[in-house]
Amino acid sequence: MSVRHVRSIRWVAVVLLVVCVSGPAHAQSVSALRSQLSAPHALRDAAARQRPAHVTRRNTGRGSGTATKVTVGTAMGIAGFFAGAYVGFLAQNGATTPGDGRAAVMTGGLVGAGAGAALGVWLASR
């Protein structure tokens, strides 16, 4: 290692040490901690103190949220891309005009991706 690397590593170590040491320290005795944690409601009360009073739990049922629509639309778009590319490849092979088929595969893939994404969002919102 070069001298420059060693100096930078030492500097980072000193900064981390200062940050760790200068942080607030709440010293409690072991018996006080043990008595707080031995109560059966200690964890429930600690969680209730951390959660703001105005926050309520959402219904976790099957919803049509934005994240669900994006996830399903993306998955169906990827599947549609490959299905459309395959259809484009088959269409180019069945054509009588000569060609390498790349244009047909890309066109089919793009059309399939758009159709798949639209179908996925529609299915997720039902």
Domain residue spans in the chain? 82-124
pLDDT digits 0-9 by tens, 85-108? 999 988 888 877 777 778 889 999
The mean pLDDT value for 48-77 works out to 75
Please enumerate in sequence order all residues whose Cβ is within 8 A of that of 106, keeping only pairs 6 or more positions apart, or say none: 85, 88
- Cα angle 108, 110, 114 (rounded to 5 degrees) comes to 115
Give yes or no for residue 3 having a pLDDT over 70.
Answer: no
pLDDT for residue 40: 60
